[in-house]
Homo-oligomer: A and B are copies of this chain.
Amino acid sequence: MRLVIVGGVAAGTKAASRARRVDPGAEITVYQEEPEPSISECGLPYLLSGVVQRREDLVARTPEKFAEKSIEVRVRHRVERIDPDTKKLSVRSLEDDVTFEDSYDRLIVATGARAVLPSIEGADLDGVFVLRFLTDADEVRGYIQERSPKRAAVVGGGYIGLEVAENLCRLGMEVSLIEAEDRVALAFGPEVTERVEEHAEENGVRVHTGAKVEEFVGGGRVEGVRFRDDRLETDLVVVGVGIEPCVELADEAGAEIGKTGAIRVGKHMKTSLPEVWAAGDCVETLNLVSGTPAWVPLGDTANQMGRVAGTNAATGEDTLEFPGVLGTGIFKVFDLGVGKTGLSEKEAQDAGFETVSATIEATDRAGYYPGVEKVFFKLIADGSTGRLIGAEAAGSGADKLTDICATAIWGRLSYPDLVNLDLAYAPPYGPALSPVVQAATVLSGKFDCVRRGLRASE
């Protein structure tokens, strides 16, 4: 059985490794456009500043390592066409610009996503970058080394923009973050946004919101950014306004594309084409909270999807299922951890839920234990059923609170279920009652006891 995998980052390489274990006899080839496979894209912002010092640390496995497991990884190769009827591929070697034909018995599309560079005048100026691949990071680093920019503008206040802003600050640059919407970290509620903006500003980032970039200005090399009536002088621009799924190859082959614009797959990661699976940032999945299609391009999810696609492609059967996602995510900006699972209150209301929510300020350990820090926590539930819909956390231990809630939503728990949840307590690890329990208790107090004719509880 010849298995071809198009794309060799998280989903593609995971699928390859998994297929190899499931079927030791399979012939497995991975085509990857970039010069390295299995890049840890999430680490790229940290490579800019040297927080991650060695470029090679972001390459989880080299083609040579894959070869040891009899997985052929061909980098700098672009698959240009899939013919699902004849099961043939047209592949271009980017090194020597030669096109050749390959064939497959089974195929996995893991073409990932690319950074969007919006059609803004001057976007092609020298010194305007996106950051998606290791090669992008190389270019930004090269430019920094060569030009020693003193001022940087980061366009886009999502988590990548925020991470890039932090890391450029670490290099001593004067950094401005420019966001078109009226706040950064839009996936979160306004309480979290506020904390993120404040923390970024405290750490030296100038945050401009409601600032749609109209032009990058410069003669050959970027010198400024124009937005509203402002013009900001800058020596470097990194654009992180979003990414889009790479679906052209699958689309042209006739694979169904979903509402979100990503490739549509079922639970078994099968596309609408025979013997073709897809996984990772190029596919859409189900948001298990809203029950609607969702495109959530994240490395951990890509890994999990890759495992399912790799297994099923290797067996040729519907062996494993990938049920969907909750939309869980986290990022760090300077010392602030910011996590989320499920839907924000606005997203939930847009999805038709009647929400109830509790927000609390808690601590990350017993109040008397040294080093105690604050954490903001918000718990969102369905008002009629009590079912958990989402949670947001910002501050120390945000990752733990997010993961507790992700697991609770995964288990379809409701907020009254969490009031007596038996979590781990010791003074260095939390307050006597976890912020999750505290928030659930607040909700119970507000909505449950009131119904029973009691006063609101603590």
> Could you list which residues of chain A lie within 8 angstroms of chain B, going by C-beta atoms?
10, 17-18, 21-22, 24, 40, 42-43, 46, 51-52, 54, 57-58, 159, 288, 298-301, 303-304, 307-308, 311, 315, 319, 321-323, 325-332, 337, 339-341, 366-370, 399-400, 402-404, 406-408, 410-413, 417, 419-430, 432-434, 437, 441, 449, 452, 454-458
In the complex the two chains form, is B419's CB within 8 Å of A304's CB?
Answer: yes
Cα distance A429–B403 when bound, in Å? 11
In the complex the two chains form, is B300's CB within 8 Å of A425's CB?
Answer: yes
Cα distance A153–B147 when bound, in Å? 63
In the complex the two chains form, is A455's CB within 8 Å of B24's CB?
Answer: yes
In the complex the two chains form, is B21's CB within 8 Å of A458's CB?
Answer: yes
Cα distance A339–B301 when bound, in Å? 27
Residues of chain B within 8 A (CB-CB) of A423 are: 300, 328, 402-403, 406-407
Select which of B57, B331, B368 is within 8 A of A368 by beta carbon.
B57
Query: Can you show 27 pairs from A to B with CB atoms below 8 A apart?
Result: A21-B457, A22-B449, A40-B432, A42-B366, A43-B366, A43-B368, A46-B368, A46-B427, A57-B367, A57-B368, A58-B368, A300-B423, A303-B433, A308-B420, A328-B422, A330-B424, A330-B426, A330-B429, A332-B429, A341-B424, A403-B404, A406-B421, A406-B422, A407-B408, A408-B411, A410-B421, A410-B422
Select which of B40, B307, B429 is within 8 A of A441 by beta carbon.
B307
Cα distance A305–B17 when bound, in Å? 49
Q: How close is A455's CB to chain B, nearest CB, in angstroms?
A: 5
Copies of this chain in the oligomer: 2
- In the complex with contacts A303-B432, A322-B420, A40-B368 CB distance below 8 A: yes
In the complex the two chains form, is B300's CB within 8 Å of A433's CB?
Answer: yes
Which residue on B lies nearest to A54, using beta carbons? B368
Cα distance A215–B301 when bound, in Å? 59
Residues of chain B within 8 A (CB-CB) of A441 are: 307
In the complex the two chains form, is A369's CB within 8 Å of B400's CB?
Answer: no
Cα distance A321–B419 when bound, in Å? 10
Residues of chain B within 8 A (CB-CB) of A307 are: 419, 441, 457
Cα distance A10–B304 when bound, in Å? 43
Select which of B22, B54, B427 is within 8 A of A42 by beta carbon.
B427
In the complex the two chains form, is A40's CB within 8 Å of B366's CB?
Answer: yes
In the complex the two chains form, is A404's CB within 8 Å of B402's CB?
Answer: no
In the complex the two chains form, is A341's CB within 8 Å of B422's CB?
Answer: yes
Cα distance A408–B408 when bound, in Å? 7
Q: How close is A420's CB to chain B, nearest CB, in angstroms?
A: 5
In the complex the two chains form, is A403's CB within 8 Å of B424's CB?
Answer: yes
Q: How close is A131's CB to chain B, nearest CB, in angstroms?
A: 14
Q: How close is A333's CB to chain B, nearest CB, in angstroms?
A: 10
Cα distance A421–B52 when bound, in Å? 28
Residues of chain B within 8 A (CB-CB) of A337 are: 428-429
Since A46-B369, A332-B428 are in contact, a sample of 11 more A-B pairs with Cβ atoms closer than 8 Å, ordered by chain A residue number, is: A40-B368, A288-B422, A300-B432, A307-B457, A311-B449, A311-B454, A319-B454, A400-B400, A407-B407, A408-B411, A410-B417
Residues of chain B within 8 A (CB-CB) of A304 are: 419-420, 433, 437
